[in-house]
């Protein structure tokens, strides 16, 4: 049984080599500069740089193929992958054409590479409640066609989860599972707000460590955190690797999973995240095995 990856963005799997396939005019120097970010703003610039080079369905198909090949190389046998449906729309593409290209690429590559892949579509928090509802309605159309969940990402500070209650209710009624990025750049209140609208897993959630009541709630409601250590260091969500709270979260009895988030941009892989957890934070073999079981237990996709 390979690794289970629950928090991974399709756009974030684009590495320097892939982006130069998407845009042969991008020079190595330019790409190195964009990929050399050290804070959240720089990371968002890298993400936007990449998104602008996804110039329609064929490009999405290319990155899907390369992503599944990379998952297999990392020893991952199951992945839930987020597509920025809000981003696709923001770029002005017809989502359905992009989706059909992604699914076709997935079917093609899975003939030879047996990685199980399910999809999460997400909306952009700071674009507001109407946008999030629109993406929830869009996501609902793909239930039964490989999409298992709906979520929000983007700027936590400018888009409180409580604004998206109706969208989350709509998605749940449509048969979707619910996730939300929260507690990454904003504090415990953001995580609480995501739980209040029904999020069943929290993307990151690391700042829950600041609030004992919230830790208790996560434990009691059995809400897993999708922890992405290297991501948090590269975006500056934590001031240093040593300051990452993964050890405290495990010790607090919260259900932790380990994930890569945007491996093409952060230069990480899933086995490496487990190595860091062991070598830097002293997680035991038994704790790491439990983290792997957590991901298997709390996955949304089932064949
Ligand atoms: Zn993420």
Three-state SS sequence of the chain? CCEEEEEEECHHHCCHHHHHHHCCCCCHHHHHHHHCCCCHHHHHHHHHHHHHCCCCHHHHHHHHHHHHHHHHHCCEEEEEEEECHHHHHHCCCCHHHHHHHHHHHHHHHCCCCCCEEEEEEEEEHHHCHHHHHHHHHHHHCCECCCEEEEEEECCCCCCCHHHHHHHHHHHHHCCCEEEEEECCCCCHHHHHHHHHCCCCEEEECHHHHHCHHHHHHHHHCCCCEEECHHHHHHCCCCCCCCCCCHHHHHHCCCCEEECCECHHHHCCCHHHHHHHHHHCCCCCHHHHHHHHHHHHHCCCCCC
pLDDT per residue over 244-256, tens digit each?
999 999 999 999 9
Distance in Å, CA 26 to ligand 1 centroid:
25
Distance in Å, CA 211 to ligand 1 centroid:
22
Q: Is 184 a catalytic residue?
A: yes
Three-state SS sequence of 175-232? CCEEEEEECCCCCHHHHHHHHHCCCCEEEECHHHHHCHHHHHHHHHCCCCEEECHHHH
- Provide the CA 246 distance to its chain's centre, in angstroms: 17
The answer to whether 85 and 121 are in contact (CB under 8 A) is yes
What pLDDT does residue 91 have? 87
Rounded distance, CA 180 to CA 187, Å? 14
Structure tokens given for 303: 């064949």
What pLDDT does residue 32 have? 98
Distance in Å, CA 81 to ligand 1 centroid:
10
- Within 13 Å, how many C-alpha atoms sit on residue 80's CB side? 27
Model pTM score = 0.97
Rounded distance, CA 65 to CA 26, Å? 21
Distance in Å, CA 153 to ligand 1 centroid:
7
Distance in Å, CA 259 to ligand 1 centroid:
9
- Average pLDDT per run of 10 along the chain, which is 303 residues long? 96 98 97 96 95 95 98 98 93 94 98 97 96 98 97 92 98 98 97 98 98 98 98 97 98 98 98 98 98 98 90
- Within 13 Å, how many C-alpha atoms sit on residue 187's CB side? 4
Structure tokens given for 104: 């076709």
Q: Which of 156, 184, 200, 226 is catalytic?
A: 184
Fold classified for 3-297: TIM Barrel (3.20.20)
Distance in Å, CA 20 to ligand 1 centroid:
23
Distance in Å, CA 290 to ligand 1 centroid:
22
191-225 per-residue burial string, b: 16 or more CB within 10 A, e: under 16:
bbbbbebbbbbbbbbbbbbebeebbebbeeeebbb
pLDDT per residue over 20-78, tens digit each?
999 999 999 999 999 999 999 999 999 999 999 999 999 999 999 999 999 999 999 99
Residue-range domain boundaries for the chain: 3-297
Structure tokens given for 150: 């709906």
Distance in Å, CA 261 to ligand 1 centroid:
5
């Amino acid at each position: 049984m390979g690794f289970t990856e629950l928090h991974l963005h399709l756009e974030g799997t684009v590495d320097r080599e892939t982006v130069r396939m998407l845009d042969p005019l991008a020079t190595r120097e330019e790409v190195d500069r964009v990929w050399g970010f050290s804070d959240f703003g720089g990371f968002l610039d890298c993400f936007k740089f990449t998104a602008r080079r996804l110039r329609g369905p064929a490009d999405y198909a290319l990155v899907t193929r390369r992503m599944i090949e990379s998952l297999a190389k990392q020893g991952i046998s199951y992945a839930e992958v987020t597509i920025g449906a809000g981003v696709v729309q923001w770029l002005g593409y017809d989502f359905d054409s992009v989706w059909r290209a992604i699914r076709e690429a997935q079917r093609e590559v899975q003939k030879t590479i047996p990685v199980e892949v399910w999809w999460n579509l997400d909306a952009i928090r700071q674009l507001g409640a109407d946008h999030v509802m629109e993406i929830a309605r869009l996501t609902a159309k793909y239930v039964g066609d490989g999409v298992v969940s709906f979520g929000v990402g983007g700027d936590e500070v400018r888009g409180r989860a409580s604004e998206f209650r109706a969208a989350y209710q709509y998605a749940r009624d449509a048969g979707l599972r619910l996730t939300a990025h929260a507690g990454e750049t904003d504090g415990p209140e953001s995580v609480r707000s995501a739980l209040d609208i029904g999020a069943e897993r929290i993307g990151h959630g690391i700042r829950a460590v600041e609030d004992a009541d919230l830790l208790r709630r996560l434990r009691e409601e059995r809400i897993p955190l999708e922890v992405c250590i290297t991501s948090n260091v590269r975006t500056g969500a934590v001031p240093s690797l040593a300051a990452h709270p993964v050890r405290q979260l495990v010790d607090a009895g919260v259900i932790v999973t380990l994930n890569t988030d945007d491996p093409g941009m952060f230069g990480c892989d899933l086995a490496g995240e487990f190595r860091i957890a062991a070598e830097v934070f002293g997680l035991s073999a038994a704790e790491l095995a439990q983290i792997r079981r957590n991901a298997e237990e709390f996955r949304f996709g089932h064949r």
